[in-house]
Amino acid sequence: MANTVTSKQALSARQRLIKMHYDSRVGHIGGNLSVLDCLLVLIKEFRGNMNEIILSKGHSAGALYIALWNAKILRNSDLKTFHGEDTLLPGHPPTNCTNIISFGTGSLGHGLSLASGTALAFKLKNSKSHSYCVMSDGEWQEGSTWEALIFATHHKLNNLTIFVDHNNLQGFGSTNEIASMSPLWDKLKGFDIDILTIDGHNLKEIRDAAKERTDKPLLICMNTIKGKGVSFMENKMEWHYLPLDETNYNLAINELNK
Amino acid sequence: MRNQFCEKLNSFSSNSDFCFLTGDLGFNALEPLAKNMKKRFINVGVSEQNMLSISAAFARQNIECWAYSIAPFCYARAFEQIRNDISFHNLPVRIVGNGGGYGYGVMGPTHHSIEDYGTLCTLPNFCAFIPTFDEDVSPIIDRLRQHQGPTYLRLGVDEKPKDWIVPKYKKWRQITQGNGPTIISIGPITTTYLEKFNALEDLRPNMWVVSELPILDNLPKKLITQIKQSNKLIIIEEHVANGGIAQQISLLLIQKYNLAPKFVHSYATSHVFSKYGSQNYLRKLSKLDPENLIKIIRNLYK
């Protein structure tokens, strides 16, 4: 199907993401690679029908921009300005980088409230649109996230789907070492939500999860790999921050081209 | 002012694109609104951060959204949500804080909001509206609804003398006239001075109230004339000095009017006191009580 993200496109997007980060000497690449597949599918396949997609983990702006590029909303010339002077595409997405992003994000713990409010607004306006939120796993350490979850479940927002990029790593170590809620899903099960666990790098599983509807808010636990696709980055905390040098860039691209 | 507020909102509560959020506050005042608005009156619970982000999302979906709490709770904890989600996106969310200033008196310093409008007015596109009299609430809500960006409405208690004739609402209004100093005041604390200032036959001040912030444009010509004539200006506000109206006005006077009158600023001096009491008790500790203002006026002419 023309509107479906293919494996080939996902690979091309991964390569373009790495090139964009290399060209701009920008880090945060590990978490971009872990959430890229999800954003590719949501942006290309689910953003119609007035649906809202809110990227709560704004530090994965690069993956969002690449997903918008893949959906032909941003151009190569836009990506070339990423993180530079006079750009529309800074390190965390501002709302005015394109007219299809409703909310600029960057500070963690905002997205789930925004997505829940959007979902309830849809219901109040008798709209059939759907609200999607893409979060990090470390973000569940923010108290506001739990306020939003209480709200979403109280209002039985069955038009809300929450994708959690569960890559187990955050800014200064693993989520388990820093402020463990492991297993997070057991805590979340105490709320009146439905939970699905998927492979966050399997396009079909992501697509099926985004289509899934229940009578409650739906939370998708995406098991992902930080730095996915580049072996020396995979599951390495330092790639939350590090920019690529020329040697590492060539290694990464060569590996993806194999 | 809460009753006037509730009455006014009730007048357009049948609008299906109007939603009201409360952070579990408004007991004994907002019940009629809740009854009329039904599912569009949403108690989000004790979760101010969530409430303000929800408001942003509602506004983004073209819902006219009002978010209510007591003044200290509606903006302080949720400041980042107001900044990032509402103000950066220039969304017309109406934030309402009841009991501004020392309004919650003996409830203690956590319940005072004496840095609210100064803080919020640092944000892009923000306007703060502060009624002086109960009668201002309705026209202020009309003004506020016309503003395309985010707004803050600070409610308090009108203590005007019986039979005081309230002048028609304007952003700037002269409230008393005489041969004394020029005074600019803001909010319902103004009403606590009316009786005593009016009785000052020799030095009755030319007192003005301003009700919309920030103050960026021209000051009224008549006010400027009076400042020039008296060369004495007192600014009164139930707000800390930093970010208050005195700073905004004095900057304008210097930059735009080249004026530097003899100047006294009476403001909320502290969040934390050694002892606590009612709103009037705390105003007195800040030397904002009418008796002290009379002393200030007399001292200016010694």
Range with the poorest average pLDDT among A179-183, B71-75, B133-137, B180-184: A179-183
Whether the per-residue pLDDT at A170 is higher than 90: the answer is no
Could you give the ipTM of this predicted complex? Answer: 0.94
A254: tokens are 């060569």
Higher pLDDT, B27 or B156: B156
Mean pLDDT of A54-65: 96
Mean pLDDT of A195-203: 97
In sequence order, what are the residues at sequence separation of 6 or more whose Cβ sits closer than 8 angstroms to the Cβ of residue B274? none
For residue A1, name the pLDDT band (cuts at 50, 70, 90).
Answer: low
Mean pLDDT of A141-148: 96
Q: Express each pLDDT in B120-174 by its tens digit.
A: 999 999 999 999 999 999 999 999 999 999 999 999 999 999 999 999 999 999 9
Helix axis angle for A29-45 and A203-211, nearest 10°, is 50
Mean pLDDT of B73-88: 96
In sequence order, what are the residues at sequence separation of 6 or more whose Cβ sits closer than 8 angstroms to the Cβ of residue B247? B241
Distance CA A205, CA A200 (A): 8
Q: Express each pLDDT in A93-139 by its tens digit.
A: 998 777 778 999 999 999 999 999 999 999 999 999 999 999 999 99
Whether the per-residue pLDDT at A3 is higher than 90: the answer is no
| A103/B56 Cβ within 8 A | yes
Q: Express each pLDDT in A20-52 by its tens digit.
A: 999 999 888 999 999 999 999 999 999 987 899
B265: tokens are 């600023």
Question: Judged by CB atoms within 8 Å, which residues 5-24 of B form the interface with A?
Answer: 19
Asked whether the beta carbons of B49 and B78 are under 8 A apart, the reply is: yes
Mean pLDDT of A205-215: 97
| A99 chain-B contacts, CB cut-off 8 A | none
Distance CA A73, CA A86 (A): 19
CATH of region B172-300, choose from 3.30.70.60, 3.40.50.920, 3.40.50.2300, 3.40.190.10: 3.40.50.920
Q: Quick one: A164 exposed, middle or buried, by C-beta within 10 A (0-12, 13-18, 19+)? A: buried
Bridge partners (DSSP) listed for residue B173: B209
Domain assignment present for residue A2? The answer is no
Q: What is the pLDDT, as a whole number, of residue A205? A: 98
For residue B85, name the pLDDT band (cuts at 50, 70, 90).
Answer: very high
Distance CA B104, CA A191 (A): 36
Give SS3 for A75: coil
Q: Tell me which residue range forms the domain holding A238.
A: 7-257
Place of tokens 């709200």: A151
A142: tokens are 């923010």
Q: Does B50 touch chain A (CB under 8 A)?
A: yes
Could you check whether B2-155 and B172-300 share the same CATH topology? Answer: yes
Place of tokens 């308090």: B156
Mean pLDDT of A232-254: 88
Which CATH fold topology does B2-155 show?
Answer: Rossmann fold (3.40.50)
Helix axis angle for A111-124 and A143-154, nearest 10°, is 20
Q: Does B250 touch chain A (CB under 8 A)?
A: no
For residue A242, name the pLDDT band (cuts at 50, 70, 90).
Answer: confident
Q: How many domains does chain A have?
A: 1
| A120 chain-B contacts, CB cut-off 8 A | 42, 54, 57-58
Q: Does B82 touch chain A (CB under 8 A)?
A: no
Q: What is the pLDDT, as a whole number, of residue A174? A: 80
B62: tokens are 């073209």
For residue A2, name the pLDDT band (cuts at 50, 70, 90).
Answer: low
Higher pLDDT, B273 or A49: B273
For residue B37, name the pLDDT band (cuts at 50, 70, 90).
Answer: very high
Whether the per-residue pLDDT at B55 is higher than 70: the answer is yes
Domain assignment present for residue A163? The answer is yes
Mean pLDDT of A67-80: 96
Q: Does B115 touch chain A (CB under 8 A)?
A: no
Mean pLDDT of A205-227: 96
User: At A150, which CATH number?
Assistant: 3.40.50.970
Q: What is the pLDDT, as a whole number, of residue B204? A: 96
Contacts 24+ apart (CB under 8 A), B293-299: B293/B193, B293/B196, B293/B197, B293/B234, B293/B236, B293/B266, B294/B196, B294/B197, B294/B200, B296/B234, B296/B264, B296/B266, B297/B180, B297/B181, B297/B200, B297/B203, B297/B205, B297/B234, B298/B203
Among A55, A102, A114, the strongest candidate for a mutation testing the B interface, having the largest count of B CBs within 10 A, is A114
Domain residue spans of chain B: 2-155, 172-300
Domain assignment present for residue A187? The answer is yes
Report CA-CA distances (Å) from A35 to A202, A231, B26, B74, B236: 11, 16, 42, 34, 54
Distance CA B160, CA B132 (A): 9
| A114/B39 Cβ within 8 A | no
Kindly report the three-state secondary structure assignment for every residue of chain B: CHHHHHHHHHHCCCCCCEEEEECCCCCCCCHHHHHHHHHHEEECCCCHHHHHHHHHHHHHCCCEEEEEEEHHHHHCCCHHHHHHHHHCCCCCCEEEEECCECCCHHHCHHHCECCHHHHHCCCCCCEEECCCCHHHHHHHHHHHHHCCCCEEEEECCCCCCCCCCCCCCCCEEEEECCCCCEEEECCHHHHHCHHHHHCCCCCCCEEEEECEECCCCCCCHHHHHHHHHHCEEEEECCCCCCCCHHHHHHHHHHHHHCCCCEEEEECCCCCCCCCCCCHHHHHHHCCCCHHHHHHHHHHHCC
Q: What is the pLDDT, as a whole number, of residue B24? A: 93
Mean pLDDT of B278-283: 97
Average pLDDT, chain A: 93
Strand order, beta sheet including A194-199: A52-55, A131-136, A160-166, A218-223, A194-199
Asked whether the beta carbons of A177 and A184 are under 8 A apart, the reply is: no
Tell me which residue in A102, A105, A144 faces B60 most closely, judged by beta carbons. Answer: A102
Q: Express each pLDDT in B185-233 by its tens digit.
A: 999 999 999 999 999 989 999 999 999 999 988 899 999 999 999 999 9
Q: What is the pLDDT, as a whole number, of residue A51? A: 94
Higher pLDDT, A223 or A236: A223
Q: What is the pLDDT, as a whole number, of residue B118? A: 97
